[in-house]
Structure 1
Amino acid sequence: MKRTIKKVAVIGSGIMGSGIACHFANIGVEVLLLDIVPNALTETEEKKGLTLDNKSVRNRIVNEHLTNALKSKPSPIYHPSFASRITTGNTTDDMAQIATCDWIIEVVVERLDIKKIVFEQIDKFRKPGTLVTSNTSGIPIHFMSEGRSEDFQQHFCGTHFFNPARYLKLFEIIPGPKTSTEVLDFLNGYGEKFLGKTSVVAKDTPAFIGNRIGIFGIMSLFHQVKEMGLTIEEVDKLTGPVIGRPKSATFRTVDVVGLDTLVHVANGIYDNCPTDEAHNLFKLPDFINKMMENKWLGSKTGQGFYKKEGKDILSLDLDTLEYRPNKKASFQTLELTKTIDKPIDRFKVLVKGKDKAGDFYRKNFAAMFAYCSNRIPEITDAFYKIDDAMKAGFGWENGPFEIWDAIGVEKGIEIMKAEGYEPATWVNEMLAAGNTSFYSVKDGATYFYAISSKTAEKIPGQDAFIILNNIRENKKIWNNSDSIITDLGDGIINLEFTSKMNSIGAGVLQGINKAIDIAEKEYNGLVIGNQGTNYSVGANLAMIFMMAVEQEYDELNAAIKMFQNTMMRCRYSSIPVIAAPHGMTLGGGCELTMHADKAVAAAETYIGLVEFGVGLIPGGGGSKEMALRAADTFRKNDVELNVLQEYFLTVGMAKVATSAYEAYDLGILQKHKDIVVVNRDRQIATAKQVALQMAEQGYTQPTARKDIKVLGKQALGMFLVGTDQMEAGKYISEHDKKIANKLAYVMAGGDLSESTLVSEQYLLDLEREAFLSLTAERKTLERIQFMLTKGKPLRN
């Protein structure tokens, strides 16, 4: 049957419920968000003379929860206006409205008795065929639907979102005893295609997949830290970005999530998995029990493993349970990996370490590999689902079996045995059958070793994706040290950056020009996209800094001109050029996006012209482009100065959109041409289709613009008065004012006596001159150096 989701009901408006409601609103779905009626008036309500019958009182809980969610940072919603898609109500007065919904999601407190009462109410009002799911993180699904109608049970299962629902990609689907195959298939596809998630069908076992493995990993570390005499800073150093995990690593993550949340799940596993070979590992160590008693739960209580006092961050000493100043952690083994860019390539080095770090990794991976291999077929029949769950739910760059593959399956077993562990039988059988790795790649697709058939099988669901890692080796056309050109098929090629943090320097610019050369001669279109953590952090600052310090201004001028010319080639080539930004897309990465024919942007794109933060103005066409876009929005009888000022402030305040939808407001993305995709895994495939469609519809090479209206002295005067006032009010420094005035000169088109039509090249020349002059300023060089060494802006 065809099933569409137009309206969703979310029952329970706490942090998780409001987050789920916001994410459905993000993708355009109408949401009914319900919670209970308060049982007493607040002091404020009493003073106003309100009663418990008043509608605002009855909806107080749900409205407060949603309001708090919308104020939270990072925001659960792509754009403030999307909140209008959410209607609030209460479970006493408004439950009948769920009859108008296509999917009802229960997100109430984790108590089976309360959930059963809610499901009884849902069964009473829902229309037959409506999906009903629970967002439980631990209660067995089969308990919840007992006693419900046959239709309810067939359309009921668990759908476990991870918090925050917008940002974490894992979407676990847990069938009940009678859940229909149609429902599972639908939810699996909907989670991936519409919600932008990694859908994983899990078995109805305690904590499902993500939390079972993730909590094991954390509990294992809790015991290991005492056993090895490690500090919490050392563990966070060892379990953070160096191995492709979030910066918050282990203990900082627990502080953010809340120690009580982790303890709740760990206790659930301990109580419900008595035959688990690592059962005792889920028993809370003494220091955790003491922290729970003290209510040191993390961020929510102001202290946990870390505590902020003034500007200082203190760390908890696990032996004395007293806070002390933070100690910097360093290990020789980690130094050996500094030249290895990709975390997946570091693991072989890490497990060979001769110091405490090497010991830590061998113990840690040995325990993890053994535990994960033994969870099959208990929690899932296919090990790749464990990897998917850990990457999507816990932010790991690589899952346990991918790490094991990187170390080598046999080497992994050797490490395990040395630490007193044995792999599951199926791993030895896999090796005995001649399969030396868990994963393999064939014809652009990833295959996994299927235990049931004892052969390599294609991971399902890849047909909608283009995975660059899988096609790069066989489809590579050209490369240099900073970029790779790959054939995507159907006459479309892709340019991928491979520089550090995908920064744009000479090698990337060479790659862009080469890709356009090749595409114009032999192909139909070009996608500029990658599947790294971020699209691009901008121009190569270190190169700019070195040239400026050496006062090589002719070379610097040539480099800036090369950047500008390359951006203009993107705009004026004879083939469609599609940018596929995602994650951080800053400075030069933003300029590249703005000069493509279209952007196919991931919803999670954090894009902006941030050059002000390092004492510069956008110099790769960004300042020109904002002046051009402002001029294109001028309308008859407009106050043109106000329009230009908005674009000026976007650059001058280094505004960064916190989603692709916010980028429309800033004028960085444009609604008439750029599109947004929710699932990043689909981004390259979608960008390819857009390029193909533009080519097939008869792409015409654009002509260079010579009709850009600039306002000259009229605008320049306004901007200069504004920056004078800002400096006088001590809102900006003298150097901030100098940078702003340079930008003002460019965006006003110089000090022309009246409004004039100018060319793009005219504005580019002004931009380059202003950029170059700022690189000669000592305070700009101080800002660049501070950013390069400290990773944050300097105000001087």
Structure 2
Amino acid sequence: MKRIIKKVAVVGSGIMGSGIACHFANIGLEVLLLDIIPNALTEAEQKKGLTLESKVVRNRMVNEHLTNALKSNPSPIYSQKFASRITTGNTTDDMPKIANYDWIIEVVVERLDIKKLVFEKIDIYRKPGTLVTSNTSGIPIHFMSEGRSDDFQAHFCGTHFFNPARYLKLFEIIPGPKTSQDVLDFLFDYGSKYLGKTSVIAKDTPAFIGNRIGIFGIQSLFHLVKDMGLTIEEVDKLTGPVIGRPKSATFRTVDVVGLDTLVHVANGIYDNCPNDEAHELFKLPDFINKMIENKWLGSKTGQGFYKKVDKDILSLDLDALEYRPAKKASFATLELTKTIDKPIDRFKVLVKGKDKAGDFYRKNFAAMFAYCSNRVPEITDEFYKIDDAMKAGFGWENGPFEIWDAIGVEKGIDLMQVEGYQPARWVIDMLASGSSSFYTIKHGATYFYNIPTKSQIKVPGQDSFIILNNIRENKKVWSNSGAVITDIGDGILNLEFQSKMNTIGGDVLAAINKGIDLAEKEYNGLVIGNQAANFTVGANIGMIFMMAVEQEYEELNMAIKYFQDTMMRVRYSATPVIVAPHGMTLGGGCEMTMHADRVVAAAESYIGLVEFGVGVIPGGGGSKEMALRASDLFHKNDVELNVLQEYFLAVAMAKVSTSAYEAFDTGVLQKGKDIVVVNKDRQIAVAKQVALQMAEQGYTQPIQRKDVKVLGKQALGMFLVGTNQMVAGKYISEHDLKIADKLAYVMAGGDLSEPTLVSEQYLLDIEREAFLSLCTERKTLERIQYMLTKGKPLRN
């Protein structure tokens, strides 16, 4: 049966419920968010003469929760405009409305008795066939549906989102005893295609997959930190980006999530998994009990493992249980990995370390490998789901079995045996069967060891993705030091940056020109996209800095012109060029995006022209493009200055969108032309289809524009008055004024005496001249140097 979801009801509006409601609003659905009514008036409500029967009072809790969620940072919603898709109400007055909703999600407090009361009420009002799911993080699903109607039970299961629902990709689907297979299949596909999640079917076991493994990992570290005499800073150094984990690593992550939340899940596992071989590990160490007693729960209480006092960060001494200044951690083993770009390639080096870091990794990985192998088939029949869950739910770049493969399966077993662990029997059987690794790559797809058949079979669900790691080696067409061009099929090429942080330098620009050359001669189109953490942080400012310091202005002029010419080539080639931004897409990456034939952006794209932060204006066609886009919006009787001013401010304020949808508001993306995909894993495949469609429809090479309307002195005067007022009010510095005035000159088209039609090349030439003049300024060089050394902008 075909099922279409148009309207979703969320019962429970706390942090998780509001976050889930916002994410369904993100993807364009109509959402009803409900919560209980208050049992008493506030002082403010009493002063206003309100009663408990007043609607504003009855909906107070849900409205406060949603308002707080929408104000939170990072935001749960792609654009504040999308909040209008959410209607609020209460569970006393508005529950009958759920009869008109296609999916009802319960997100109330983690108490079985309360959840059962909610489901009893839902069962009264829902129409047959309506999906009902629980976002519980640990209560067994089979307890919740007891006593409910047959139709309810057939359409009921767990759908566990991770917090924050917008950003964490794991979507665990937990069947109940009578859940229809059609329902499970639908939710699996819906989670991936529409919600942008990594869908994982989990068994109905305590804490399911993600939290069972994740909490084990954290509890293991809690014990290890004491046994090895490590500080919390040392553990965070060892468990952060160096091994492909978030910057918050372990203890900062616990502070953000809340120690009470973690303890709740850990206690649930301890109480409900008596036969777990690591049962005692889930018992809380004394220092955790003391922190709970002191209410040192993390960010929500102002202190946890870390505490901020004024501008200083203090950390907790786990022996004395007192705060002290945070200490910088360093290890010789980590120094050995500095030249290894990919975390997956570092693990072999890390486990060979001769210092405390090496000991830590050997102990930590031995425990993790053993525990994960022994959870199959208890929590899942296929081990790859554990890897999927840890990557999507905890932000790990590589899952436990991928790390084990990187170290070597036999080497991993050796580590375990030294530490007194044994792998599960199926791992020994795997090696005996001739499979020396958990995963293999063949025919452009990932295969995994299937335990029942003792053979490698294809990981399901890959057909809708293009995974560059799987095809790069066999489908490479051309490469240089900064980029790789790959044939992704059907006559479409993909150009993937491989420079540090995907910066755009001469090698990347050469690769773009080469990719367009190849596509024009032998292929149907070109996609510029990658699957790194970020699309690109922009132009190689280190190269610009060196040329400017050495006063090699002629060479710098040529380099900037080469960048401009390449962006214009992206716009005016004889083949479709699709740019697929995601994550940070800054400066030159934004300029490239703006020059594409079409953009296929991941929803989580943070795009903006940020050159002001390093003391220059956009010099790769970005300033020109903003003037052009403003010109295209000029209509008869418009106040054209107001339109231009909006685009000027987007650049001058270095606005970076917090989602791809916000990039439509800043003018970087264009409505009716550019598209957004919620699931980043599908992005390259969608971009390929867009390129192919454009080619098949008959692509015609565009003609360079010579009809850009610029306003000249009229606009320039307005901008100069405005920037001078900003300096007078001390909102910007004198150097900010100089940069803003250069931008104003470019976007006004110079000091022309009247509005005039000019060419793109005219604007590019004055843009380049302005950029170069700013590179001669000492304060600009100070800003660039500060960014290179400190990684953040200097306001001088």
Please classify the TM superposition score into its range, dividing by the shorter chain length. Answer: over 0.9
What is the 5 A alignment of 1:205-354?
Answer: 205-354=205-354
Residue number in structure 2 paired with 1:116: 116
- Match of 2:397, SS state, is coil
Residue number in structure 2 paired with 1:195: 195
Distance 1:29 1:732 in 2: 41
Distance 2:354 2:554 in 1: 49
Q: Deviations over 1:723-774 (max 9, x none)?
A: 1111111111110001111111111111111111111111001111111111
- Match of 1:441, SS state, is strand
Distance 2:63 2:435 in 1: 56
What is the 5 A alignment of 1:753-792?
Answer: 753-792=753-792
The one-letter code matched in structure 2 to 1:349 is: V
- Aligned: 1:44 with 2:44: yes
| Deviation, structure 1 residue 578 | 0.1
Residue number in structure 2 paired with 1:543: 543
What is the 5 A alignment of 1:378-417?
Answer: 378-417=378-417
Q: Deviations over 1:297-355 (max 9, x none)?
A: 00000000000000000000001010000100011111111111111111111111111
- Match of 1:123, SS state, is helix
| Deviation, structure 1 residue 507 | 0.7
Residue number in structure 2 paired with 1:186: 186
- Match of 1:526, SS state, is strand
| Deviation, structure 1 residue 781 | 0.8
- Match of 2:488, SS state, is strand
Distance 1:673 1:443 in 2: 34
Distance 1:28 1:99 in 2: 20
| Deviation, structure 1 residue 520 | 0.2
- Aligned: 1:523 with 2:523: yes
Distance 2:12 2:641 in 1: 48
Residue number in structure 1 paired with 2:742: 742
| Deviation, structure 1 residue 127 | 0.6
| Deviation, structure 1 residue 500 | 0.6
- Match of 2:316, SS state, is strand
Residue number in structure 2 paired with 1:69: 69
Residue number in structure 2 paired with 1:451: 451
Distance 2:404 2:636 in 1: 64
- Match of 1:31, SS state, is strand
| Deviation, structure 1 residue 546 | 1.0
| Deviation, structure 1 residue 638 | 0.8
- Match of 1:172, SS state, is strand
Residue number in structure 2 paired with 1:565: 565
What is the 5 A alignment of 1:627-666?
Answer: 627-666=627-666
Distance 1:720 1:267 in 2: 63
| Deviation, structure 1 residue 277 | 0.5
Residue number in structure 2 paired with 1:472: 472
Residue number in structure 1 paired with 2:488: 488
Q: Deviations over 1:514-567 (max 9, x none)?
A: 000000000010000000000000000111111111111111111100000000
Q: Normalization by structure 2: what TM-score?
A: 1.00
The one-letter code matched in structure 2 to 1:57 is: V
Residue number in structure 2 paired with 1:427: 427
What is the 5 A alignment of 1:123-162?
Answer: 123-162=123-162
The one-letter code matched in structure 1 to 2:419 is: E
| Deviation, structure 1 residue 784 | 0.7
| Deviation, structure 1 residue 443 | 1.0
The one-letter code matched in structure 2 to 1:254 is: V
The one-letter code matched in structure 2 to 1:54 is: S
Q: Deviations over 1:678-700 (max 9, x none)?
A: 00010000000000000000111
Question: Percent identity at matched positions?
Answer: 84
What is the 5 A alignment of 1:615-694?
Answer: 615-694=615-694
Residue number in structure 1 paired with 2:440: 440
- Match of 1:73, SS state, is coil
Distance 1:275 1:542 in 2: 57
Residue number in structure 2 paired with 1:597: 597
- Match of 1:104, SS state, is strand
Distance 1:552 1:232 in 2: 48
Distance 1:89 1:287 in 2: 42
Distance 1:790 1:369 in 2: 37
- Match of 1:324, SS state, is strand
- Match of 1:314, SS state, is strand
| Deviation, structure 1 residue 452 | 1.2
Distance 2:237 2:714 in 1: 55
- Match of 1:362, SS state, is helix
Q: Deviations over 1:597-640 (max 9, x none)?
A: 01000000000000000111101000000011011111111111
Residue number in structure 2 paired with 1:25: 25
The one-letter code matched in structure 2 to 1:698 is: G
- Aligned: 1:105 with 2:105: yes
Q: Normalization by structure 1: what TM-score?
A: 1.00
Distance 2:241 2:372 in 1: 22
The one-letter code matched in structure 2 to 1:11 is: V
Distance 2:358 2:788 in 1: 30
Residue number in structure 1 paired with 2:499: 499
- Match of 1:188, SS state, is helix
- Aligned: 1:698 with 2:692: no
The one-letter code matched in structure 2 to 1:246 is: P
- Match of 1:447, SS state, is strand
| Deviation, structure 1 residue 391 | 0.3
Distance 1:536 1:54 in 2: 52
Distance 2:576 2:369 in 1: 47
Residue number in structure 1 paired with 2:372: 372
| Deviation, structure 1 residue 414 | 1.1
Give 5+ residue unaligned stretches, structure 2. none
Distance 1:424 1:659 in 2: 43
Distance 1:452 1:4 in 2: 36
Distance 1:6 1:645 in 2: 39
The one-letter code matched in structure 1 to 2:518 is: I
Distance 1:383 1:775 in 2: 54
- Match of 1:489, SS state, is coil
Residue number in structure 2 paired with 1:713: 713
How many residues of Structure 1 are paired with residues of Structure 2 in the alignment?
A: 796
| Deviation, structure 1 residue 190 | 0.3
| Deviation, structure 1 residue 87 | 0.8
Distance 2:657 2:763 in 1: 25
| Deviation, structure 1 residue 421 | 1.1
Distance 2:761 2:677 in 1: 33
- Aligned: 1:87 with 2:87: yes
The one-letter code matched in structure 1 to 2:706 is: K
Give 5+ residue unaligned stretches, structure 1. none
